[in-house]
A and B are shown apart, each in its own frame.
Chain A
């Protein structure tokens, strides 16, 4: 399983990276953390003619905070994301989710932006940024643009990124409620069979507002709006409302029906945990 041959470039600026990407056409690929890309190369599922190594592009790095929230550079290593004090204070959902991503050695190289661009439906970070209403900043030959995370993830490995664009950063508003995070995986570090990322704001012991984003069930992370709204009625109503939100897809581990069932079980548990913490 040796990777096929490719040309290699290591631009030092975002502008240089974009130029290489444009010039490289269909055969060019960005190399960031490489934790998803390189297995695909080793398995010869992908045969890019050029790899553009953006690990040296400083503009893509850094975590900073402002009054409204935080900004996380796309190149931020998942390990750094999980260890960040700024993230822990302003977007603790991310801090909670990071230890579920694979293993330490993977997280030391894998990047925040890479996980978003990869858009694996069973990955944690895409669900988290949707739950946090992040705005994703994208750079391309036509300049910069922003895409709301709920519009960014389109399908399995499919995002709003054009072939000649690079994800730069996520602008994440401060998290508005207590972290909700549950994941069902066969083994520590595996992709989720079903997972729930979100937050819940309590008022007088009841969930007043919530964001419920399911991952591992559908072709992409799903913001379960109907379920979140139905929480005002009851947890069981919310679980029933998942029928409106989710269109589960079967995989090795579960049928679509099982995924739907697990989503309900996760929602019930997440609510119980939140209520218990509040009591």
Chain B
């Protein structure tokens, strides 16, 4: 670890240690507690009838036969819910000019995506509910689908929502520096168009919600598979006009989320509305078929990009045009424009070039809503930038690593504001790239590649430099009116036996949030990890927080935990000082004891301090009021984001006869600031890389011209499995942020942000002898053979 020693670098500190997660043991024993594991008296189950057409008017709906199916409690349609909720609109005021139509739980008149929920059957079992759904008599009038984003924006296109006037949800332009001049005077211009296919999260645990309304108490309790319990508490209260204090959201174990479970879904809102209507627990678990058509999708973009450069390889200007289709509505509360907004903000941003133009158009279309999914926009921005950089390298005859070397922002050039207005506190692009090149033996691989090429074996090496935004401040969402918190809190309490209970507003979906918090707290209070219990996910038991998203858990939640632990430590030492008649400043905590700061002699056990505080107040000096609990909240105030950075590389072999790829190896050097637990960070990176590989090579939601999803099962939608994935080597550089004491940035999304770019470059590198390029993702054998002119 780099940097001067701080209060965190103690003789016995968990900071920087690869500690296995204490919480994982029960998951390994089959003792997880996911929403579908929750059993409550009088629990009823929901199944939805969904619109089978991409665009259709509801002509008639007859639920009589369905309602008669034995075991059915109620069949609910839009008219049953009318007036019982406030429609939600997925716009934020800081996205100027943005527009989107109000959204409802169930279709009343017109459906605008295949999969949109229309009616809900509540029954004693899911099977019976599905039986009854099949009995609903429904007549649709099919309307013209609008699947193509360019067609949606073409002049004369029929607006999907008449009141909005057209299908442009949002537009943004950036024009920085002197772009036209730079292109005019350039030695070399490269340009390319890229296409990214819509794909989706495929969470192992499908979307799951169990809403329980007790009309006698007026209280709503929602067991929810989600990343942001407080946000949802706020939204349920607002949209269903409930007192804020009457709503409790509990997120226990979550079987994967990756950003999918942080948005408001009509079927989940319908489930809550039904619970309010019926006054009993109502459970909805999306099955896999409905997940494919109703989970949010992401990353459908068409991008035109140009780069101007000097013959020495200096990038003179960059210009992109990004059109993205987001379905018929912008999602709530985060909006669906953030992905495109980040694309145009991020492209080229880790290079010195200041001449940058970008145009973003976000279009409505009749496909499922798309919005934030892990790494939001970064995979696309990185792929476009890095592909163009490789293209440029080839055009000026430079090695791709060398071109990057000549253009990366120098490690000593910070702080830096990009052409698009992003503020970088301090990155380590040069150091991380050099570390990566050495780690992978870049020169050795190039020699191997050349030797094998002469034998007809085609390998590709792809590099990708990247940044990743983490730890967002309030200017990200809150500023625009969203009930999204960029602050977070941690309450830490010493118990009479010397153990520590700690409640945090950041949440756990398997990344290790609870372990990270425990490590920080245990280190600060000088206790062993097994003495610390961390509580997350329950709005009734945790400080008001933002939950987990944009890789904020460690940077923000961890800092709150650290500050809270420091505050509790001060309280403990104050009490110990009073008990010992010693100056608290001369005391410290270590090994479960209050010790002398100088010399480390044990003075009094934490358990004895605890017992004195809670049971033996009579032994304390007069006037002493022990407070063995402390809460601290933390929010980044200085930088809008804590940017991280890194470099990735892919080494693969391409079978030019079949278009099949074998991924040989993958490397990541990443800088997420102070690393609290290297094991957890590495595994987040690895998981993220494979998720990125999915989008690069395998995953796409295939739609026909009628807006019908053709491959909505796990047999036809290809998720990455173990057999085809490479080993992934991860190394770190640590550039802590000075904004917090902990100095940690985020790590959860960097793997996904950079991997597609590395794979794209590796494929095209392999294709170099054939003068062919692939610019469409996923890069399937079909697309590769097409580029080779072979089929």
Chain A partners chain B: yes
B287 touches A254 (CB 8 A): no
Distance A258 CA – B660 CA, assembled complex (angstroms): 12
| Per-residue contact bits, chain A 161-198, to B (CB 8 Å; 1 contact, 0 not) | 00000000000000000000000101111110100000
A187 touches B724 (CB 8 A): yes
| Contact partner, B130, options A44, A190, A254, Cβ 8 Å | A44
- Which residue in chain B gives the minimum CB-CB distance to A184? B658
With A1-B288, A186-B698, A253-B782 already in contact, the answer to whether A258 and B723 are too (CB < 8 A) is no
The stretch of B326-334, B360-368, B708-716, B745-753 that contacts the partner chain: B708-716
- Which residue in chain A gives the minimum CB-CB distance to B288? A1
A187 touches B721 (CB 8 A): yes
Distance A188 CA – B718 CA, assembled complex (angstroms): 11
B710 touches A184 (CB 8 A): no
- Which residue in chain B gives the minimum CB-CB distance to A250? B782
User: Is B790 among interface residues, defined by CB-CB distance under 8 A?
Assistant: yes
Using CB atoms and an 8 Å cutoff, list the residues of chain A in contact with chain B: 1-5, 43-44, 184, 186-191, 193, 252-255, 257-258, 260-262, 265, 268
User: Is B585 among interface residues, defined by CB-CB distance under 8 A?
Assistant: no
Distance A189 CA – B718 CA, assembled complex (angstroms): 12
- Which residue in chain A gives the minimum CB-CB distance to B131? A4
B781 touches A193 (CB 8 A): yes
A257 touches B134 (CB 8 A): no
With A43-B713, A252-B702, A255-B791 already in contact, the answer to whether A188 and B721 are too (CB < 8 A) is yes
4 additional A-B residue pairs with CB within 8 Å, beyond A187-B724, A189-B721, A253-B780: A2-B130, A4-B131, A44-B134, A188-B721
A265 touches B657 (CB 8 A): yes
Distance A3 CA – B724 CA, assembled complex (angstroms): 32
Residues of B contacting A5 with CB < 8 Å? 127, 131
**Secondary structure of the A contact surface, majority rule:** loop
B781 touches A1 (CB 8 A): no
B776 to chain A, nearest CB (A): 15
**Restricting to B628-663, which residues have a CB under 8 Å from any CB of A?**
657-658, 660
| Contact partner, B711, options A188, A193, A252, Cβ 8 Å | A252
User: Is B405 among interface residues, defined by CB-CB distance under 8 A?
Assistant: no
B130 touches A253 (CB 8 A): no
With A2-B126, A5-B131, A44-B134 already in contact, the answer to whether A254 and B723 are too (CB < 8 A) is no
User: Is B209 among interface residues, defined by CB-CB distance under 8 A?
Assistant: no
A254 touches B702 (CB 8 A): no
Residues of B contacting A258 with CB < 8 Å? 781-782, 785, 790-791
A1 touches B723 (CB 8 A): no
Residues of B contacting A262 with CB < 8 Å? 658, 791
Distance A254 CA – B781 CA, assembled complex (angstroms): 8
With A187-B721, A188-B721, A253-B781 already in contact, the answer to whether A1 and B287 are too (CB < 8 A) is yes
User: Is B40 among interface residues, defined by CB-CB distance under 8 A?
Assistant: no
Distance A186 CA – B780 CA, assembled complex (angstroms): 9
Residues of B contacting A255 with CB < 8 Å? 782, 791
B100 to chain A, nearest CB (A): 32
Residues of A contacting B289 with CB < 8 Å? 1, 43
B658 touches A188 (CB 8 A): no
A252 touches B791 (CB 8 A): no
B791 touches A257 (CB 8 A): yes
B132 to chain A, nearest CB (A): 11
B645 to chain A, nearest CB (A): 32
**8 residue pairs from A and B, CB less than 8 Å apart:** A5-B127, A184-B658, A187-B698, A187-B720, A252-B702, A255-B791, A261-B791, A262-B791
Q: Which 4 A-B pairs have the closest CB atoms?
A: A188-B723, A258-B791, A2-B127, A1-B287
B781 touches A261 (CB 8 A): no
Distance A258 CA – B710 CA, assembled complex (angstroms): 20
A261 touches B724 (CB 8 A): no
A261 touches B790 (CB 8 A): yes
A118 to chain B, nearest CB (A): 14
- What size tier do the contact residues of chain B reach? 20 to 34
A103 to chain B, nearest CB (A): 10
Distance A265 CA – B785 CA, assembled complex (angstroms): 12
A252 touches B126 (CB 8 A): no
- Count chain B CB atoms within 10 A of each CB in A189, A191, A265 and give the residue with the most: A265
| Contact partner, A254, options B134, B718, B782, Cβ 8 Å | B782
Residues of B contacting A4 with CB < 8 Å? 130-131, 134
Residues of B contacting A187 with CB < 8 Å? 698, 718, 720-721, 723-724
- Count chain A CB atoms within 10 A of each CB in B288, B724, B791 and give the residue with the most: B791
- Count chain A CB atoms within 10 A of each CB in B658, B702, B710, B711 and give the residue with the most: B658
B603 to chain A, nearest CB (A): 60
Residues of A contacting B781 with CB < 8 Å? 184, 186, 193, 253-254, 258
B65 to chain A, nearest CB (A): 15
Residues of B contacting A43 with CB < 8 Å? 289, 713
A41 to chain B, nearest CB (A): 11
Distance A191 CA – B713 CA, assembled complex (angstroms): 14
Residues of B contacting A193 with CB < 8 Å? 781
Distance A265 CA – B790 CA, assembled complex (angstroms): 11
Distance A4 CA – B125 CA, assembled complex (angstroms): 12
Residues of B contacting A261 with CB < 8 Å? 785, 790-791
Distance A257 CA – B288 CA, assembled complex (angstroms): 32
| Per-residue contact bits, chain B 701-736, to A (CB 8 Å; 1 contact, 0 not) | 010000000110101101011111000000000000
Residues of A contacting B721 with CB < 8 Å? 187-189
B206 to chain A, nearest CB (A): 10
B207 to chain A, nearest CB (A): 14
A265 touches B713 (CB 8 A): no
Residues of A contacting B660 with CB < 8 Å? 184, 186
With A43-B289, A255-B782, A255-B791 already in contact, the answer to whether A186 and B130 are too (CB < 8 A) is no
Distance A253 CA – B125 CA, assembled complex (angstroms): 38
A252 touches B658 (CB 8 A): no
Residues of B contacting A190 with CB < 8 Å? 718
Distance A206 CA – B720 CA, assembled complex (angstroms): 41
| Contact partner, B658, options A2, A3, A265, Cβ 8 Å | A265
Residues of A contacting B702 with CB < 8 Å? 252
- Which residue in chain A gives the minimum CB-CB distance to B47? A2
